[in-house]
C-alpha cells in the first residue's frame, strides 16, 4: 500500500480510537477507575504471555485484581537496552535491526518508513548517554494517533471543519522523533498544515508564519516564548486563536510572555516517545489531565516510594497501556512532576498534574558550604532569572571549572548577562551551595539538540 493510502486508512482508524478515548473522559470516576485498572492488568498479562523478559520478571505474581503494581520491579533505560531483544514481543525486532532501521530513516529524512511494513521505530534522548529505542506496531500506533486527535479535537477545540483551519507547528522535523511522526501521521488534508523545523533560524520561522497566518500555533515552549517576544516587538504579525506548547517545561514567565503577545492562555501538551500523549490541560487550565486510558503513572521519590499528591517526585514511572509490541511496565522517566490533590472543575475524571518542573538532569549538584552536596532544582533558578529584565532565554553549562550562564537578551536590554550572573550567584548561595566560579556570556541563540530541536536548561559537561 502506498504511503498516502496507508495514512488515510490509519487516520480513519485513529479517528475511531479518538472517539472511544473521548467517551472515557465522560465516564464517572468509579467507571473510569475500573476501566483504567482493566487496561493496566490487560497489558501486564499480555507482557507475561508474549515477552520472554516479562515472563520471567512477572513469574510468581498473581496477575489479577489483587495485583499491587508496586510489586513489579521498575525498568530503567539501561535494562531496557541490555534486555531489548527479550522485552519485545516479536523476536524479529532485535535492537541491532532497529538501530540499522533508524540509520535508514536518517538517510531518508521526511519519509514515514515502516520496518517490515508494520513497525514504526523512534529514538528518544541521547544527550547524556545512549539513546532509547522505541517501537510501535500498527495497532499500537492507531491508539497513539487517537490520543493526539483527541488532544487537538476535544482539548484544544480544533476538530476538522470547512473551511479548513490553518495550523502551524514548530517542532522536531526528524522521522526519528515522536513529534514529527505523530504530526505527519495525522496530516491527511483535514487542516491546512505548516510544519516548521525547531532547528531553523528564528527569522526564517517568523517569515514563514507571517506568510501562513496560522489560526492555531503549536511549538516547543522555548520557541513559543521567543515567538511571543517577536510578536510584541512587531516582527511577527499573527493572530492565533489557540496556542499550545509541547515537549519542554512551560514556566510561568513563558506563559506570561505568550499571554502578553496573543491574549491567550497557552495549552500545554505533555508527551513522550515512551508513551505518546501523556497529559494535557483543558480550557480551565487548572493542571494537566493525565490521560489514564493511555498511560498509567506513578510519582515516586528517589527510593522508588510513592509520593503523596501535592508533593514533588524525583522520577515518574510510566506504564504504556497501548504498546503491545514493546511493553513498558513501570518505566523510569527522569521527569520532575507533582500530582494535584484537586480535581478539575471541567468534570473529567482523570487526575491532574499540578506541575511539570523539568527533568532530573536539569538539577545542578554542587558542593555544600557545610559539606556534602546540594541539589539545585530548576525552580531555584527559574524565579530569579525570570525577574531579569530583557532576558529572553538562558542555559546553564556546568563544567569542572564552574558554571557559565548563556544569555539571549532583548535587543535594547543592557547589562542582562551581568544581572543574570548575579541572580544565579545569589540563588546558589541561598540554597546552601559553595558557589563555584560563575560566568555569563551573551549569545545570539541557545544551541538546540541536533535531532529533536529541544533546548536544555542545564547542560553538564563532566562536572
Residue 335 lies in a domain: no
Q: What is the CATH number of the domain that holds 382?
A: 3.30.300.30
Give the pLDDT of residue 370: 86
Number of residues that make up the chain: 463
The model scores a pTM over 0.75: yes
Check residue 360 and give its pLDDT: 54
DSSP category for residue 71:
G
Contact between 95 and 85 (Cβ < 8 Å): yes
Cβ neighbours, 10 Å, residue 306: 14
pLDDT of residue 450: 64
CB 291 within 8 A of CB 277: yes
Asked whether residue 398 is assigned to any structural domain, the reply reads yes
Range of the domain at 426: 363-460
**Which of these, 277, 293, 295, 290, lies nearest to 331 by C-alpha position?**
295
pLDDT of residue 377: 66
Q: CA-CA distance, 252 to 313, in Å (whole number)?
A: 20
Answer yes or no: is 348 within a domain.
Answer: no
Query: How is residue 317 written as a grid cell?
Result: 514511572
SS3 152: helix
Q: Are 181 and 122 in contact (CB under 8 A)?
A: yes
CB atoms within 10 A of CB 389: 11
CB 318 within 8 A of CB 331: yes
Within a domain: 394: yes
Residue 294, H or E segment: none
Phi-psi region of 431 (alpha: psi -120 to 50; beta: other; left: phi over 0): alpha
Match 510510566 to its residue by C-alpha cell: 318
Residue 151 lies in a domain: no
| Structural domain contains residue 451 | yes
pLDDT for residue 105: 86
H/E element holding 109?
A: none
The one-character DSSP state at 125 is -
Q: Is residue 428 part of a domain?
A: yes
Q: How far apart are CA 291 and CA 458, in angstroms?
A: 28
Structural domain includes residue 435: yes
The pLDDT tens digits of the residues spanning 213-263 come to: 999 999 988 889 889 999 999 999 999 999 999 877 788 888 999 999 999
Q: How many CA atoms lie within 13 A of 62 on its CB side?
A: 5
CA 373 to chain centre: 29
Q: Residue 144 and residue 127: Cα distance in Å, rounded?
A: 25
- Our CA dihedral for 364, 366, 368, 371, rounded to 10 degrees, sits at 130
| 298 C-beta neighbours (distance < 10 Å), count | 18
The label of the residue with cell 498509567 reads 296
- Axis crossing angle, helix 178-185 with helix 138-150, rounded to the nearest 10: 80
Q: How far apart are CA 367 and CA 365, in angstroms?
A: 7
What DSSP character marks residue 370?
T
Number of folded domains in the chain? 1
- Mean pLDDT in order along the chain per 10 residues (463 residues): 74 94 97 98 98 97 95 95 97 95 81 91 67 94 96 95 94 82 88 90 94 96 90 97 89 90 96 94 96 98 93 94 98 92 97 81 78 76 76 84 87 79 90 90 80 70 57
Amino acid at each position: 500500500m502506498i504511503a498516502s493510502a496507508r495514512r488515510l486508512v490509519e487516520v480513519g482508524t485513529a479517528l475511531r480510537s479518538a472517539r472511544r478515548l473521548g467517551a472515557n473522559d465522560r465516564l464517572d470516576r468509579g467507571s473510569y477507575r475500573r476501566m483504567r485498572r482493566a487496561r493496566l492488568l490487560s497489558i501486564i498479562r499480555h507482557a507475561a504471555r508474549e515477552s520472554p523478559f516479562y515472563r520471567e520478571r512477572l513469574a510468581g505474581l498473581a496477575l489479577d485484581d489483587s495485583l499491587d503494581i508496586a510489586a513489579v520491579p521498575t525498568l530503567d533505560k539501561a535494562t531496557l537496552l541490555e534486555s531489548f531483544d527479550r522485552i519485545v514481543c516479536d523476536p524479529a525486532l532485535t535492537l541491532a535491526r532497529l538501530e540499522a532501521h533508524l540509520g535508514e530513516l536518517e538517510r531518508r529524512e521526511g519519509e514515514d518508513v515502516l520496518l517490515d511494513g508494520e513497525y514504526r521505530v523512534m529514538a528518544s534522548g541521547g544527550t547524556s548517554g545512549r539513546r532509547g529505542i522505541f517501537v510501535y506496531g500498527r495497532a499500537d500506533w492507531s491508539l497513539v494517533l487517537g490520543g493526539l486527535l483527541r488532544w487537538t479535537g476535544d482539548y484544544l477545540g480544533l476538530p476538522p471543519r470547512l473551511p479548513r483551519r490553518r495550523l502551524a507547528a514548530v517542532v522536531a522535523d526528524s522521522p526519528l522523533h515522536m513529534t514529527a511522526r505523530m504530526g505527519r501521521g495525522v496530516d491527511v488534508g483535514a487542516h491546512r498544515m505548516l510544519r516548521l523545523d525547531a532547528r531553523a533560524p528564528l527569522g526564517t520561522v517568523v517569515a514563514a508564519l507571517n506568510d501562513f497566518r496560522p489560526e492555531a500555533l503549536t511549538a516547543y515552549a522555548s520557541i513559543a516564548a521567543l515567538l511571543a517576544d517577536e510578536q510584541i516587538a512587531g516582527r511577527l504579525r499573527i493572530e492565533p486563536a489557540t496556542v499550545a506548547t509541547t515537549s519542554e517545561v512551560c514556566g510561568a514567565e513563558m506563559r506570561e510572555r505568550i499571554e502578553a503577545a496573543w491574549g491567550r492562555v497557552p495549552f500545554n501538551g505533555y508527551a513522550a516517545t515512551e508513551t505518546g500523549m501523556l497529559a494535557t490541560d483543558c480550557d480551565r487550565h487548572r493542571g494537566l489531565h493525565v490521560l489514564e486510558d493511555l498511560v498509567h503513572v506513578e510519582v515516586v521519590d528517589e527510593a522508588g516510594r510513592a509520593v503523596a499528591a501535592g508533593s514533588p517526585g524525583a522520577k515518574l514511572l510510566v506504564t504504556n497501556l497501548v504498546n503491545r509490541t514493546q511493553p513498558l511496565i513501570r518505566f523510569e522517566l527522569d521527569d520532575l512532576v507533582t500530582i494535584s490533590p484537586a480535581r478539575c472543575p471541567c468534570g473529567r475524571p482523570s487526575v491532574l498534574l499540578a506541575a511539570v518542573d523539568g527533568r532530573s538532569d536539569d538539577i545542578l549538584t554542587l558542593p555544600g558550604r557545610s559539606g556534602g552536596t546540594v541539589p539545585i532544582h530548576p525552580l531555584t533558578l527559574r524565579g530569579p532569572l525570570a525577574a531579569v529584565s530583557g532576558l529572553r532565554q538562558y542555559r546553564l553549562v556546568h563544567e569542572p571549572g564552574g558554571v557559565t550562564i548563556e544569555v539571549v537578551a532583548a535587543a535594547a536590554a543592557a547589562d542582562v548577562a551581568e544581572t543574570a550572573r548575579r541572580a544565579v550567584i545569589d540563588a546558589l548561595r541561598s540554597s546552601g551551595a559553595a558557589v563555584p566560579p560563575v560566568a555569563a556570556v551573551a549569545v545570539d541563540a541557545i544551541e538546540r539538540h541536533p535531532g529533536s530541536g529541544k533546548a536544555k536548561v542545564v547542560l553538564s559537561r563532566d562536572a
